[in-house]
Amino acid sequence: MKITLNEEQSILAQSVARFVDDRRDAVSWRPADRGLDPEIWREVAALGWLGAGVGEAAGGFGGGRAMSVVMEGAGAGIRYAEPLSQVFVALAILESADAENPYLSEILSGEAFACGLIADMGTGIEAIGSGDDCRISGAFKAVPYFEQVDHLVLALPDLICVLDAQAAGIDTQTYPALDGATRADLSLDNVQVKSVAVLAKGESASVALNRGRVFHAAAVTAEASGLAAKLFEDTLAYVKQRTQFGRPIGEFQAVQHRLADMFVALEEIRSLSLATARAAEDGVPADRRLSQAVVGVIDRALHIAREAIQLHGGVGMTEDLPMGAGLRRLKVLQLMPAGAQTHRRTLTGRAT
């Protein structure tokens, strides 16, 4: 896979950047504005971004690299990335399980909103029975935008299936999260899975689960890369105009050293994000290297966010700038199920 973008990917990146810039204002990252606007989602689907997550056989045009291009651009807008991430994971699982299943076209067109859930995000997940008597129990925590979700796409070690989000046996508890978005803890109690909603079993299910894991990691690292770049660029612009003792603070050597550290961290983030995109593109197994990439990206992005706030001073924590919101979003990427903290536990061999 090439490091530089091809012509199609460059056009895609420009489309996302234009979309985010056109809708950026002084309050675009505030918690009150973090809901999923149906009109905006239909526009996103009409622009064709969702097709970046799957190949031509599934009705799309992309794969791991194209998806990462979209997620990186959306990351700069903070509020647009998360719904894209959960849909991209759902599409990756669906494509791997059955590239001709009817859910794909419905999701790609924007008619339905799907949430991809991999086994790593759940606790006590158990599937019992077969055929129309197959039932699932367990729990998934911190599911975003659940009130607007139509389909839950589940990737378990031996089963890929699609659940109606309003199915009997799914109990929810909603609450505001760290970044201001509303999330839901799901409790599944013998939820029936119709035979037509079972897309893969056995080895095929294991392959689809791996794909879901790798695409989730690629989405997380790409979003963090775009967000970190936004925070660095805004900070670089700020230190050139903020004066102290009659000089822009960017001329002070101590500030330049901190900016240099941020720049190095950003370049490392971009390299690690590219590596996860390559893993998604090539369909490699989710292993320690993937976990190392996710942890490395989030750790470095958090460093950039903290430095951005410090170099902006008190104004960096106001809601008029994206610094505080960016830090909170990165903390969510660190702490959420299957996020950087989960990958760190994998690396250290800790189960909890």
CATH number at residue 327: 1.20.140.10
pLDDT for position 192: 93
Distance separating alpha carbons of residues 108 and 123, to the nearest angstrom: 29
List, in order, residues 6 or more apart from 233 with CB less than 8 Å away.
none
How many domains, the chain? 1
Distance separating alpha carbons of residues 109 and 261, to the nearest angstrom: 42
Residue 300 included in any domain: yes
Residue 89 included in any domain: no
Nearest to 339 by CA among 229, 226, 221: 221
Contact in structure between 2 and 65 (CB atoms under 8 Å): no
Residue 15 included in any domain: no
Distance separating alpha carbons of residues 293 and 13, to the nearest angstrom: 22
Distance separating alpha carbons of residues 320 and 298, to the nearest angstrom: 24
pLDDT below 70 — which residues of the chain?
Answer: 1-2, 25-35, 350-352
pLDDT digits (tens, 9 = 90+) for 10-68: 999 999 999 988 877 644 565 544 567 788 888 999 999 999 999 999 999 988 999 99
Residue 271 included in any domain: yes
Domain that holds residue 292: 204-348
Residue 269 included in any domain: yes
Residue 278 included in any domain: yes
pLDDT digits (tens, 9 = 90+) for 267-295: 999 999 999 999 999 888 889 999 999 99
pTM: 0.94
Where are the extended beta strands (E) located within 40-158?
Answer: 114-118, 122-128, 134-144, 151-156
Residue 184 included in any domain: no
pLDDT for position 320: 78
Residue 12 included in any domain: no
